[in-house]
Structure 1
Amino acid sequence: MTLYLIGIGLANEKDITVRGLEIVKKCDIVYLEYYTSLLQCSFHDLAKFYDKEIILADRKTTEQGDEKIIAEAQNKDVAFLVIGDPFSATTHVQLLKLAKEKNVKVEIIHNASVLTAIGETGLELYKFGKTTSVPFLEDHPTLETPYNVIKENGDLHTLCLLDLKPRQDKFMTVKEALEILENIEERKKENVIHDKLLVIGCARLGSADSMIKVGTIKEIKQVDFGSAPH
C-alpha cells in the first residue's frame, strides 16, 4: 500500500494533474491539508470533481497525527492533498521522512506552487534570496525574523508568505503584512523597511483573477487586493 503526497495546484479543483486525479480516484482514504494555504474553490466543488470523500486535515492532524496517517498507509492507499506543491511547506517533508522510517511506500505528484508562480511578477526566480513568513503579530509580539531575512537577502528579492488561520476565517492582507514590517522597523531602526523600498503585492496567484501591483510601501498599502490569498 502507498502514501501519495499530491500537489493540487493553486486555483481550483481542475488544477490537479491528470496523474494526480487518477491516483485520488483509486485511493481508499483522501486527506486535504488546508492550513498552509487557501483553496480558491469550495471544498464541495473539490470533493465533487474528485468524486471522493475528503477528510480535512488541520495543523494538529498533520503535525501531531502523522503516525495515524502512516499507519493507514501501511494497509491502504492514502492520498494526502496539498494546495500548491507537496513540499512548499516543511511540514510535509516531516511526513515523508516518517513514512520512510516506517518503510511505507511513498509516491510524490508535484504541481505548481507560489514559489514558482511568483515568476508571474516578472522577477527572475534565481535572483530570490531566502523565503520568509510573516505571522500575525498578536501571536509573535517580538517578531523579527521576516525583517532579518529581508536584511540578510540584501539586493536579492525576498518572497514573504503571509499568515492565515482558516478555522477562524482570518487571512493576512498585503497591507497588514507591510504594517507588521513597519512595526518591526520602528523597534529596530536599521532602515531596512523605508519609504523608498519597492515592493510587489500579489493576490490569488495562479487564478484567472490574479492581481499584481508594484510600488512603494505607502502606495501598495493603499491598494485593495480583494479576496485572499495575498
Structure 2
Amino acid sequence: MGKKNPTLYLVGLGLSPGNLTIDALNVIRSVDKVFMETYTSKAPGELIKQIMGIRHDIVFLSREDLEDRSGNAIMSELSKGRDAALLVIGDPMMATAHAAILVIVKRLGFEVRIINSVSIVCAILSQLGLSPYKLGPIATITYPRMGILSMRAYEILNDNLRRGLHTILLLDIKDGNEFMSASEAIDLLRKMEENGKLGIINNGLLVIYAARIGWENQSIVVSTINNVPSLGETPHTIIIPGLLNPVEIDYLTYVLYADKDLVLKHQRWVNKLMNGNWQK
C-alpha cells in the first residue's frame, strides 16, 4: 500500500480551554507542523497558553498569510510530504477564509480533514435559551469601507424580524485585529436606519448583548438598543430575538433576568411587524 498524501487538518479549538477535544489534542501532538490564526476570532489568554504548552513550536499566521498569500506557508509544508494543522478559534468552517484554503489544498492534490468544535453560533443559542429552529440568516456588522457603509446586516435583520426569526449579529474586526464593540455596532445600526428608513431600529427594540461567550468571564445583558450596557473586553455579539415561545420568554426573564414587560412589548411589536401593521 502506498504512502498516503500529506494532509492538512483544520482544527477547531472551541471558545475556551475546556472545549479542546481529544481529536484536536491528538492532531496537535502528532502532525509535523502546526499553524494557528487568531484574526477571524479572539481567544482567551488561557487557551493560547494551553495550546503553547502542548506545542511550543506553533507558527502564527496573519490574515495576509492566509488570504493574500493563499496560505503559502502551509502549502510549502504539504509539498515537502509533511502533515500540517491549522488551528482556529471556535468551529473551523465558520469563516469562509478557511474553506478557501481547503479548496487550494485539494486542488494541489493533498488531503484535508476537519476537526470540529464549539462555535459561537451554537454556544450563544444555548446560553440564551433560544431555539435553533427559529434562527434566521446570520450577518456581520462591518465597518465602512472606503466611506461606504454596508447595509447587509440591516437588510437581514429586517427580513428575519418580519418572519419572526432570531438574528445573530457578529461584529467586524479592524485590520489591526481590533474587535468592534457593541456600542460601535449600535451606532452603525442607527446609521443604517437613517439610510434604510424601515423603522426596525427604534428606541424600544429589545437587544441581547453578549461578550466573551464561552470564556470564564462571559457577560450577557438583555436591554434595549437605546441602552447599551458596558460589556468590557471584546469579542461582543448582538442578538435580536424574533417571535419567542413561552419557554424562551421564561428563560429570558427567569434565567437572564430580562424585564418581562420589555420582552412582552418586543413580542407585540414583532407580531405587528409580521402582520404588516407595525406602524398602527
Contact 1:25–1:52 (CA under 8 A) maintained in structure 2: no
Contact 1:178–1:217 (CA under 8 A) maintained in structure 2: yes
Tell me how far 1:141 sits from its aligned partner: 2.9
Q: 1:43 to 1:175 in 2, by over 3 A?
A: same
Tell me how far 1:145 sits from its aligned partner: 0.9
Match of 1:117 in 2: 123
Match of 2:102 in 1: 96
Q: Supply the distance in 2 between the matched residues of 1:27 and 1:127 (Cα, whole angstroms).
A: 40
Bigger radius of gyration: 2
Q: Supply the distance in 1 between the matched residues of 2:215 and 2:48 (Cα, whole angstroms).
A: 18
- The answer to whether 1:156 aligns with 2:157 is no
Q: 1:226 to 1:77 in 2, by over 3 A?
A: same
Match of 1:225 in 2: 231
Match of 1:82 in 2: 88
Structure 2: stretches of 5+ with no match in the other structure = 1-5, 237-280
User: What amino acid is the match of 1:73?
Assistant: L
Q: Supply the distance in 2 between the matched residues of 1:51 and 1:57 (Cα, whole angstroms).
A: 15
Write out per-residue CA displacement over residues 16-50 of structure 1, whole angstroms, 9 at most, x where no aligned residue.
21111111112222111111100111686144322
Match of 1:8 in 2: 13
Contact 1:11–1:204 (CA under 8 A) maintained in structure 2: no
Write out per-residue CA displacement over residues 154-176 of structure 1, whole angstroms, 9 at most, x where no aligned residue.
321111111123x6352211111
Structure number with higher relative contact order (C-alpha < 8 Å, ≥ 6 residues apart): 1
Contact 2:39–2:177 (CA under 8 A) maintained in structure 1: no
Identity of aligned residues (%): 34
Contact 2:143–2:149 (CA under 8 A) maintained in structure 1: no
- Equivalent residue of 1:172, what SS? coil
Tell me how far 1:11 sits from its aligned partner: 2.2
What TM-score, normalized by structure 1, do the two folds share? 0.91
- Equivalent residue of 2:226, what SS? helix
Equivalenced residues, count: 226
Tell me how far 1:66 sits from its aligned partner: 2.7
Tell me how far 1:15 sits from its aligned partner: 3.0
User: What amino acid is the match of 1:106?
Assistant: V
Match of 1:17 in 2: 21
- The answer to whether 1:210 aligns with 2:213 is no
Tell me how far 1:209 sits from its aligned partner: 1.6
Alignment of 1:111-150 (within 5 A): 111-119=117-125, 120-137=127-144, 141-150=148-157
Tell me how far 1:67 sits from its aligned partner: 5.3
Tell me how far 1:134 sits from its aligned partner: 0.9
Q: Supply the distance in 2 between the matched residues of 1:123 and 1:211 (Cα, whole angstroms).
A: 16
- Equivalent residue of 1:36, what SS? coil
Match of 1:39 in 2: 43
**CA RMSD, aligned part only?**
1.9
Match of 2:114 in 1: 108
- Equivalent residue of 1:218, what SS? coil
